[in-house]
Amino acid sequence: MTRIVHVMRSDGFAGVEGFVARLALEQFRQAHQVAVIGGDPTRMRAVLGPDISHTPAASVIDASRAVRAALTAGEPPEVIHVHMTAAELSTSLALGPRPRALAPAVVSTCHFASARGAGSGLAGPLVAALARRRIDAQIAVSAFVATAVGGRTPTQVVHTGVPNRDRATESRDRLVLLAQRLEPEKHTDDALRIFAQSQVARRGWRLIVAGDGSARGSLLSLAADLGIADAVDLLGRRDDVGALMDRAGILLAPTPREGLGLAVLEAMSCGLPVLAAGSGGHLETVGSVPGAQLYADLADGASRLRAMVDDERGRAAYGADLHRAQRERFTIERQVAQTDAVYRRVLEGHR
């Protein structure tokens, strides 16, 4: 049993928060003592349940205070597992000058394909230096992220895992699904252009988008400009994405620099065929099966989407291959086991 505190500076609930909640829950199920700092209180509590402590942390100061409180608790953590630069910075501030031998081990998971401090402008180098100061081990969610992050700390790739699900066996609807935040870096506009160029709307297919964000208005305008407004549904944020995946015929994943792609893994877990940008973490998920549907550009994406729509039997076989790959390589149990191995190695070095 290891005493673990996960730290985020966050009051939302998106990919990283979902990652932390699932990881913490499985670690608890495997008899670790787990607490979580950060993330939307209501949604984190709904996932974590009553037995895992949760402390809100909307700012770096909030997170740092929560870490300090954990350090002075009756049973302080043996491992502080930090997620994203702000959490690294919060933990560094909380630990202060405490000698490493008297401090918990600090393990950082890198979720995004960018260098530490890249979003801090001219202060980036200083932020990066302060953030990485106390890190003992570094995990990346994919080889793509590990390469992009770089740095002097050795990085262990631990692919994100998701719970196993039964493959949906009922007939799927003529729906192309997107499940992601509507922010510019997610390239949702590429998905609309691919759908329009494919002309599969003429064959009765619709594009449904589960997610919300700052690009919603521009996407509505783009759908009108492309002449597909009548075949596109922006559903907003949904809590039933799993049910949508059981109904949909294809998942479209257009983010070219996706760290790994949680929605892709969830689609794989239910056997939903995936058409993805042929880059980033998609090469490690979708790209792990023969006949992977990875597009090089928008015209190629549209061509592949048409071909997938026309080949129902091929879609089913491809979905089955993705389902097997998830169960072999992207399970939450495998993720926890590999994360535990990182913890053990770091803790041995602390003793």
Q: How far, in Å, CA of 303 to CA of 3, rounded?
A: 51
What confidence score (pLDDT) does residue 341 get?
96
Q: Please, what is the average pLDDT of the chain?
A: 93
pLDDT of res. 128: 74
Q: How confident is the model at residue 74 (pLDDT cuts 50, 70, 90)?
A: confident
Question: Quick check: 66 and 77 in contact, CB under 8 A?
Answer: no
Strand order in the sheet with 155-157: 53-55, 33-37, 3-7, 79-83, 105-110, 137-140, 155-157
Mean pLDDT value of segment 262-279: 97
The confidence band for 151, taking pLDDT boundaries of 50, 70 and 90, is: low
| C-alpha span between 247 and 70 (Å, rounded) | 44
Residue 123: pLDDT band (50, 70, 90) is low
In the 3-class helix/strand/coil scheme, how is 8-73 assigned residue by residue? CCECCCCHHHHHHHHHHHHHHHCCCEEEEECCCHHHHHHHHCCCCEEECECCHHHHHHHHHHHHCC
Rounded to whole angstroms, how far apart are CA atoms 123 and 332? Answer: 36
Position 100 scores a pLDDT of 79
Residue 74 CB: number of other CB atoms within 10 A? 4
Domain boundaries, the chain: 3-161+331-350, 175-329
Q: What average pLDDT does range 30-45 have in this prediction?
A: 96
pLDDT band, very low/low/confident/very high, at 118 (cuts 50, 70, 90)? low
DSSP conformational letter for 344: H
Does 257 have pLDDT greater than 90?
A: yes
Q: What is the pLDDT of residue 348?
A: 87
Q: Looking at 87-96, 116-125, 280-289, which range is the least confident one? A: 116-125
**Average pLDDT of 87-116?**
89
- Grouping H, G, I as helix, E, B as strand and the rest as coil, residue 211 is strand
Mean pLDDT of 279-304: 97
pLDDT-derived band at 1, boundaries 50, 70, 90: confident
pLDDT for res 71: 93
The SS3 assignment for 309 reads helix
Cα–Cα nearest to 30, from 284, 273, 335 = 335
More confident residue, 201 or 114: 201
Return the CATH fold of 175-329. Answer: Rossmann fold (3.40.50)
Q: Are 141 and 108 in contact (CB under 8 A)?
A: no
Nearest to 179 by CA among 217, 235, 130: 235
Band of pLDDT at residue 328, cut at 50, 70 and 90: very high
Q: Stretch 242-262: mean pLDDT, rounded? A: 96
Please check the confidence at residue 306 and state whether its pLDDT lies above 70.
yes
C-alpha 17 chain-centroid distance? 8
**Residue found by looking up tokens 């990652």 in the block:** 19
Sign of dihedral through CA atoms 64, 65, 66, 69? positive
How high is the pLDDT of residue 154?
78
User: How confident is the model over 303-322, as a mean pLDDT?
Assistant: 96
Give the pLDDT band of residue 76 (cuts 50, 70, 90). Answer: very high
Q: What is the pLDDT of residues 199-208, one digit of tens each?
A: 999 999 999 9
State residue 122's pLDDT score.
Answer: 58
Q: How high is the pLDDT of residue 57? A: 96
CB atoms within 10 A of CB 350: 14
What pLDDT sits at residue 344?
Answer: 95
Residues 6 or more apart in contact with residue 171 via CB below 8 angstroms: none
Structure tokens given for 92: 């560094």
The answer on pLDDT for 350 being more than 80 is no
Residue 136 near residue 155, CB atoms below 8 Å: no
Q: How confident is the model at residue 170 (pLDDT cuts 50, 70, 90)?
A: confident
pTM, whole model, 2 decimals?
0.90
Confidence check: pLDDT of 351 > 90: no
| 282: CB partners within 8 A, 6+ apart | 253, 258, 261, 264, 276, 294
Per CATH, domain 3-161+331-350 is 3.40.50.2000: yes
The total number of residues shown for the chain amounts to 351
Percentage of the chain exceeding pLDDT 70: 96
pLDDT at residue 117, as a whole number? 65
Q: Give the pLDDT mean for 283-301.
A: 97
Task: Judge if 3-161+331-350 and 175-329 fold alike in CATH terms.
Answer: yes
Over pLDDT 90: what percentage of the chain?
83
